């Protein structure tokens, strides 16, 4: 058996950092007017919330392929969040500095999710029992 061990995303510092970022996005969007909040804001918040929600849901899945699929969905939601942050900046709903800082944090999160995917792929290829000897 290999020494690959499972750690829940909830127990990882990078996940808690992601939660703080998502909460900052929420707080920022709450200050916007009705039209921006209903259009760009709702999409931004949904995409950002989806990053963490899919990581948690994937962690609760029994099969490792399911878990990986949710990691991929989470990574796609991260890209969508970046898109909406750029839209918010372009429409003067958010400062360039705030948008850039949040996108840089998302980029760190993207690298973390990529490493999480790499680590969790090991569970798909790991043999969990000793090979039988069939010599007669």
Query: What local confidence, expressed as pLDDT, does residue 136 receive?
Result: 60
Give the separation between CA 89 and CA 62, rounded to whole angstroms. 40
Query: What local confidence, expressed as pLDDT, does residue 123 receive?
Result: 75
SS3 73: helix
With a cut of 50, which residues of the chain have pLDDT below it? Answer: 1-3
Place of tokens 């919330």: 49
As a whole number of Å, the end-to-end CA separation of the chain is 26
Query: What local confidence, expressed as pLDDT, does residue 43 receive?
Result: 98
Query: What local confidence, expressed as pLDDT, does residue 1 receive?
Result: 40
Query: What local confidence, expressed as pLDDT, does residue 8 receive?
Result: 83
Cβ distance 74 to 55 under 8 Å?
Answer: yes
Query: What local confidence, expressed as pLDDT, does residue 84 receive?
Result: 98
């Amino acid at each position: 058996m290999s020494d690959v061990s499972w750690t829940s995303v909830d127990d990882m510092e990078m996940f808690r950092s992601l939660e703080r970022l998502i909460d900052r996005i929420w707080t920022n969007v709450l200050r916007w007017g009705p039209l921006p909040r209903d259009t760009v804001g709702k999409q931004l918040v949904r995409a950002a919330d989806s990053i963490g929600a899919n990581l948690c849901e994937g962690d609760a899945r029994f099969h490792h392929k399911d878990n990986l699929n949710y990691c991929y969905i989470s990574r796609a939601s991260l890209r969508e969040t970046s898109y909406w942050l750029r839209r918010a900046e372009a429409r003067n709903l958010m400062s360039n500095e705030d948008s850039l800082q949040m996108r840089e944090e998302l980029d760190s999160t993207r690298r973390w999710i990529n490493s999480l995917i790499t680590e969790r792929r090991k569970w798909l290829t790991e043999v969990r029992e000793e090979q039988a000897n069939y010599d007669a």
